């Protein structure tokens, strides 16, 4: 994580997101919903009014499309942009990499030299952004070049035919993926830092083409906002065609915001996370919370910088605070000290601290939040207030998630925190590999595999040589990993080491080596009965 904010950032102009966030209505893995009924033309305005931007920009509608006209005219640099209410959280495991591949292909296709005069060409600047709940495309440059690239985008919507060789957009990593899964399930958003690839080749290309057709603003399947800095180009080209129907608004999804304890590796440096109502107040409240936690850690002698990762989901503004330097000094005692001082028994927040955070909020941030609200069809203010920031701080405290540690676990009984740890397990066990193996295996292999009604467990042992003649024997268990086999979401294969990794809906994983499966027909039959061969498939390999 970088110093200060770490999440969705703002770029050029008046705050169009200029870099991906940390970065599914999951829908049917075979397709993206149905096309709206023919004959229904024009899009009625959303029930939520567009956020007021004052002198920064104005809203207008042309042919049923929302347009944001920014008040920064530039005679030499035209801007045209399109933002869609579709992001990484909308990409289920079966469609992993589809959106990233589409973004890479669009950048390659649109950033081509365009003739702007006799014997003269210009290359427009094309930026693509893939965030948890938004996909954006910005084209800026000389007027003729931008209009040419915009026309090319319309051609791609008409005939979604993308190259298979386009590079994927680099993945954006998150501080606490397992925590994000408690809100949004397992999606491309929280699989980002696992070296797993989705379908590639022709299968991957077709998924990206499907997504491009789904995003076409004229189909009326995905909410969208079009942006320019020149009112004369509103409704230009293919955007003069109205949508087939009113694009739907995603239903609320991030509902369970109770305090919880969630598994987290000790070296990730996570202090806590929380959520608030999306908007400017929550954004500013995150900086206030960062200052409160950072000051407390400094008093405890921990000089490592504290990062603030913010992820605007549609129905929840998620923020996570973690040390930038993972030097192992953040233990359960420190996490509990922060919780007690900042969450359980907080002191009044000084007015001066809130005023400093409000003063840092500017036009770029206002446009960023306005775009997110309008794209998702939700109401809200883009101008934070001191009272609003205090309300958002209270929401973060009331929904706090802490790393599960020995020192934090008592909060499950003492304060009613949800415990994302174990599942209720029936008593009947089915053991398919011996619990005490009689020979030493490769250190990477599990020494025992056990299946229960709900779990697939893999066990490792500490080995030592004993007896005469001396033999390798298991001395004691050194731990196990397990997944809930009734809630598996993905099966990933490693072609080099020949193992299968199973992932469940809480991002728990187990590895099953193929030689173990092949050597035990009963194990293979039981795995088949649990349906693992029908899961979405991924392949291990280097990620970009």
CATH value at residue 89: 3.30.830
Residue 391 lies in a domain: yes
Residue 209 and residue 111 share a domain: yes
Strands across the sheet with 448-452, in order? 429-431, 448-452, 455-466, 471-484
pLDDT at residue number 544: 58
Same domain, residue pair 441 and 487: yes
Query: What's residue 402's pLDDT?
Result: 97
For residues 450 and 400, membership in a common domain is answered with: no
In a domain, 244, yes or no: no
Q: For residue 15, what are the contacts with CB-CB under 8 A and spacing of at least 6?
A: 363, 364, 365, 366, 367, 368, 371
Same domain for 396 and 479? no
Q: How far apart are CA 187 and CA 194, in angstroms?
A: 12
For residue 52, tell me if it sits in a domain.
Answer: no
Q: Which of 419, 454, 484 is the last residue of a domain?
A: 419
| Last-in-domain residue among 385, 400, 419 | 419
Q: What is the number of structural domains in the chain?
A: 3
Residues 278 and 338 in one domain: yes
Same domain, 438 and 393: no
Out of 233, 268, 295, pick the residue that ends a domain. Answer: 233
Angle at 53 between CA 52 and CA 55, to 5 degrees: 130
Query: Shortest CA distance to 216 belongs to which of 192, 242, 234?
Result: 242
User: Are 92 and 201 part of one and the same domain?
Assistant: yes
Same domain, 397 and 476: no
The answer to whether position 34 is within a domain reads no
Q: What is the pLDDT at residue 23? A: 31
Of residues 249, 312, 253, 257, the one with CA closest to residue 279: 312
374 occurs within a structural domain: yes
Residue 347 lies in a domain: yes
Residue 400 within a domain: yes
Residues 482 and 456 in one domain: yes
**Residue 225 shares a structural domain with residue 285:** no
Range of the domain at 400: 260-419
Whether residue 485 is contained in a domain is answered as yes
pLDDT-flagged residues of the chain (< 50): 1-30, 34-45
Nearest Cα residue to 279 out of 380, 395, 367 = 380
pTM: 0.87
Tell me, yes or no, whether 414 and 448 share the same domain. no
439 and 501 belong to one structural domain? yes
């Amino acid at each position: 994580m970088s110093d200060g904010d770490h999440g969705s950032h703002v770029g050029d102009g008046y705050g169009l997101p200029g870099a991906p966030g940390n970065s599914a209505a999951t829908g049917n893995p075979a397709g993206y919903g149905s096309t709206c009924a023919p004959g229904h033309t024009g899009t009625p305005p959303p029930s939520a009014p567009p956020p007021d931007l004052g002198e920064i920009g104005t809203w207008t509608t042309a042919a049923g499309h929302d347009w944001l006209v920014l008040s920064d005219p530039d005679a030499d640099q035209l801007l045209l942009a399109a933002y869609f209410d579709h992001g990484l959280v909308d990409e289920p495991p079966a469609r992993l990499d589809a959106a990233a591949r589409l973004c890479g292909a669009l950048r390659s296709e649109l950033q081509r030299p365009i003739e702007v005069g006799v014997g003269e060409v210009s290359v427009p600047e094309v930026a693509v952004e893939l965030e948890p709940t938004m996909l954006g495309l910005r084209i800026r440059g000389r007027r003729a070049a931008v209009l040419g690239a915009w026309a090319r985008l319309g051609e791609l919507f008409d005939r979604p035919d993308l190259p298979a060789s386009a590079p994927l957009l680099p993945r954006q990593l998150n501080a606490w993926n397992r925590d994000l899964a408690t809100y949004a399930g397992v999606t491309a958003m929280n699989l980002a830092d696992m070296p797993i690839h989705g379908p590639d080749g022709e299968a991957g290309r077709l998924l990206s083409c499907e997504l491009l057709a789904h995003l076409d603003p004229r189909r009326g399947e995905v909410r969208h906002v079009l942006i320019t800095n020149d009112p004369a180009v509103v409704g230009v080209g293919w955007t003069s065609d109205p949508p087939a129907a009113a694009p739907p608004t995603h239903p609320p999804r991030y509902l369970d915001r109770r305090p919880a304890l969630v598994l987290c590796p000790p070296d990730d440096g996570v202090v806590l996370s929380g959520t608030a109502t999306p908007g400017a107040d929550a954004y500013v409240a995150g900086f206030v919370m960062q200052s409160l936690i950072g000051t407390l850690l400094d008093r405890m002698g921990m000089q490592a910088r504290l990062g603030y990762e913010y992820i605007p989901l549609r129905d929840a503004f998620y923020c996570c605070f973690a040390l930038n330097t993972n030097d192992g000094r953040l233990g359960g005692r420190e996490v509990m000290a922060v919780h007690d001082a900042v969450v359980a028994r907080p002191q009044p927040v000084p007015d001066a601290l809130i005023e400093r955070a409000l003063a840092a909020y500017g036009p770029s941030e206002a446009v960023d939040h306005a775009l997110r609200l309008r794209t998702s069809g939700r109401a809200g203010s883009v101008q934070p207030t001191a009272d609003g920031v205090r309300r958002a701080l209270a929401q973060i405290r009331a929904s706090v998630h802490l790393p599960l540690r020995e020192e934090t676990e008592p909060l499950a009984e003492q304060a009613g925190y949800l415990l994302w740890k174990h599942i209720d397990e029936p008593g009947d066990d089915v053991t398919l590999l011996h619990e005490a193996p009689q020979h030493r295996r490769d250190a990477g292999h599990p020494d025992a595999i056990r299946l229960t009604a709900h779990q697939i467990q893999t066990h490792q042992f500490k080995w030592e040589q004993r007896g005469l003649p001396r033999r390798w024997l298991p001395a004691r268990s050194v731990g196990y990993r397990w997944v809930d086999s009734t809630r598996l979401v993905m099966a990933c294969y490693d072609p080099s080491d020949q193992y299968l990794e199973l992932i469940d809906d809480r991002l728990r994983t187990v590895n099953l080596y193929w030689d173990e499966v092949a050597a035990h027909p009963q194990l293979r039959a039981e795995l088949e009965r649990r349906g693992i061969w029908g899961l979405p498939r991924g392949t291990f390999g280097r990620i970009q």
